């Protein structure tokens, strides 16, 4: 655990008692503070009481009089579309509001670090798509090279729940826009921006607010190195803001699909080959086409970002290449489930928006596509240019008929409704060379609690169909 620093003798209110909230309460207590806990749900309050924490309703008159800090869970709105009433009350009372990410960054470094030969490092990864895979891949590459590493944040353990890093240790954090938007301290040694596409727009009052939340990771603390995906205008803009000139190698530009030039430091993937360029010369090249855990151009972008981050930490190209080949991928993210009679089954349940689904459709040929669910804003028109590799769509979800209409005439579709029917129909019709791909292009909440549950259902149905 990382004890929270600067709270000794203070009363800290913890709002939201899921994984990050309860961990924050424990870490505040470990730092000598007095945590008071609240959750709008009875189950959360019960968990806190079972651990011996004191419940404290922050919306009651005078409830914040003795509170020095409010720590909120990332899922609770603090500004848009409207602040939670407890956060609004804290802001009116002048009580600072933070989250566990802010507490982590202000508490990580201790006097013990003076005895280390190499100070620990923090790599923080944000972006719209690929940040989980990129974070996990960075951690995997470091572990494969024998480095001490911990993976936390929006993936793995809560940030305050990890062990204090040792001599030369690295902490890899995946950070969502909800986490970067509010954290009062953001000081990673290396910050990574994968890409940007519209998401969570209601929470950030539009695309500009969403980008601003991501940008805080780079603007607040000034990382020693910034790895920036420049395939969108926002990434180009961010790289330009952080760099003092074309040869500034504190910014590593990353791209998938275009070769980057110039005198600076860049890592790009084109036609399946990763190239590292420094000072106008190619310094390394890796063939990504045989890396089974990273299929498709979108995963090649993830590979470039992870490669750049670990190169900045001193790993050699050949060491990185070996680590890439041993990476098996993450569950529900272009995850290879099975191969039978020449048919490949891939679980990309994490493709919950149109942009991520489009990348999945570009990663494979001869696709039997299982899609559908709770459609997000903007419709499905952006998917239409990527239907060329789709043999047929098998549509699930409570509104499968509407979803199928949104697909239009560009692809043959069958309304299946349930995952069971979709997997059975796709498996029955698939022939050698086909890929049965779950890439829903929609949220899961109409039929499942989360995308993980949806992916697990797909996996179970595939294995049942194949009798494996």
Arithmetic mean of pLDDT over the chain: 95
- Residue 199: per-residue pLDDT: 80
- Residue 380: per-residue pLDDT: 92
Residue 468 has pLDDT above 70, yes or no: no
Last residue of a domain, one of 306, 325, 344: 325
In a domain, 355, yes or no: yes
- Residue 296: per-residue pLDDT: 87
20 annotated as belonging to a binding site for a ligand: no
pLDDT digits (tens, 9 = 90+) for 173-191: 999 999 999 999 999 999 9
122 and 161 inside one domain = yes
Tell which wins on pLDDT, 221 or 448.
448
195 annotated as belonging to a binding site for a ligand: no
pLDDT digits (tens, 9 = 90+) for 320-374: 999 999 998 889 988 999 999 999 999 999 999 898 899 899 999 999 999 999 9
Q: Which of 200, 196, 170 is nearest to 74 (CA)?
A: 200
Q: In what order do the strands lie in the sheet with 69-72?
A: 54-55, 34-38, 11-15, 69-72, 97-98
What's the average model confidence in pLDDT over 128-153?
Answer: 96
The number of folded domains in the chain is 3
320 and 341 inside one domain = no
120 and 197 inside one domain = yes
What's the average model confidence in pLDDT over 365-391?
Answer: 92
In a domain, 1, yes or no: no
114 and 69 inside one domain = no
In a domain, 5, yes or no: no
Predicted TM-score of the model (pTM): 0.86
How big is the chain, counted in residues?
468
Range of the domain at 182: 108-325
286 and 348 inside one domain = no
How much of the chain, in percent, has pLDDT values that exceed 70?
A: 100
261: helix, coil or strand?
coil
133 annotated as belonging to a binding site for a ligand: yes
In a domain, 330, yes or no: no
Distances (CA, A) of 184 to 124, 139, 172: 15, 25, 19
Question: What CATH number does residue 261 fall under?
Answer: 3.40.1190.10
347 annotated as belonging to a binding site for a ligand: no
131 annotated as belonging to a binding site for a ligand: yes
What's the average model confidence in pLDDT over 251-265?
Answer: 93
pLDDT band at residue 198 under the 50/70/90 scheme = confident
What's the average model confidence in pLDDT over 276-284?
Answer: 96
174 and 287 inside one domain = yes
Q: Which residues make beta-bridge pairs with 424?
A: none
What's the average model confidence in pLDDT over 116-126?
Answer: 97
Distances (CA, A) of 87 to 70, 95, 317: 8, 9, 47
16 annotated as belonging to a binding site for a ligand: no
177 annotated as belonging to a binding site for a ligand: no
pLDDT digits (tens, 9 = 90+) for 24-74: 999 999 999 999 999 999 999 999 999 999 999 999 999 999 999 999 999
C-alpha 170/C-alpha 183 separation (Å) is 20
């Amino acid at each position: 655990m990382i004890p929270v620093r600067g709270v000794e003798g203070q009363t800290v209110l913890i709002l939201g008692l899921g994984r990050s909230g309860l961990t924050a309460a424990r870490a505040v207590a470990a730092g000598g503070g007095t945590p008071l806990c609240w959750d709008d749900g009875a189950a959360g309050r019960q968990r806190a009481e079972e651990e011996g924490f004191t419940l404290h309703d922050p919306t009651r008159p005078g409830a914040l009089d003795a509170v020095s800090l409010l720590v909120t869970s990332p899922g609770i709105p603090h500004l848009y579309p409207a602040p939670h009433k407890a956060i609004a009350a804290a802001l009116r009372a002048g009580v600072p509001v933070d989250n566990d990410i802010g507490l982590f960054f202000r508490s990580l470094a201790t006097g013990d670090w003076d005895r280390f030969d190499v100070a620990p490092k923090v790599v923080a990864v944000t972006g719209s798509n690929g940040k989980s895979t990129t974070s996990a891949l960075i951690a995997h590459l470091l572990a494969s090279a024998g480095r001490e590493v911990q993976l936390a944040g929006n993936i793995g353990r809560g940030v305050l729940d990890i062990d204090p890093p040792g001599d030369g240790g690295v902490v890899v954090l995946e950070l969502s826009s909800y986490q970067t938007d509010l954290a009062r301290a953001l000081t990673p040694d290396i910050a990574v921006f994968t890409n940007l596409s519209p998401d969570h727009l209601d929470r950030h009052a539009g695309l500009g607010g969403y980008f601003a939340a991501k940008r805080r990771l780079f603007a607040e603390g000034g990382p020693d190195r910034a790895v920036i995906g420049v395939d969108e205008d926002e990434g180009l803009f961010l790289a330009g803001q952080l760099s003092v000139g074309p040869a500034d190698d504190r910014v590593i530009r990353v791209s998938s699909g275009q070769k980057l030039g110039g005198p600076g430091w860049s890592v790009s993937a084109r036609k399946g080959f990763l190239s590292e360029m420094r000072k106008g010369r190619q310094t390394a090249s890796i063939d990504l086409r045989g890396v089974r855990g990273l299929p498709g151009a979108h995963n090649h972008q993830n590979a470039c970002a992870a490669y750049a981050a670990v190169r900045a930490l001193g790993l050699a190209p050949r060491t990185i290449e070996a680590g890439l080949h041993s990476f098996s991928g993450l569950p529900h993210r272009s995850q290879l489930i099975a191969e039978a009679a020449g048919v490949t089954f891939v679980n990309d349940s994490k493709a919950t928006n149109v942009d991520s689904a489009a990348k999945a459709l570009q990663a494979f040929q001869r696709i039997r596509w299982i899609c559908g669910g709770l459609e997000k804003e903007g419709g499905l028109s952006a998917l239409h240019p990527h239907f060329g590799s789709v043999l047929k769509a098998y549509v699930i979800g409570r509104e499968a008929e509407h979803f199928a209409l949104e697909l239009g005439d560009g692809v043959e579709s069958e309304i299946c409704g349930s995952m069971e029917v979709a997997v059975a129909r796709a498996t029955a019709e698939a022939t050698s060379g086909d890929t049965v791909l779950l890439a829903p292009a929609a949220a899961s909440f109409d039929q499942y609690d989360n995308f993980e549950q949806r992916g697990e259902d797909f996996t179970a149905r595939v294995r049942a169909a194949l009798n494996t």
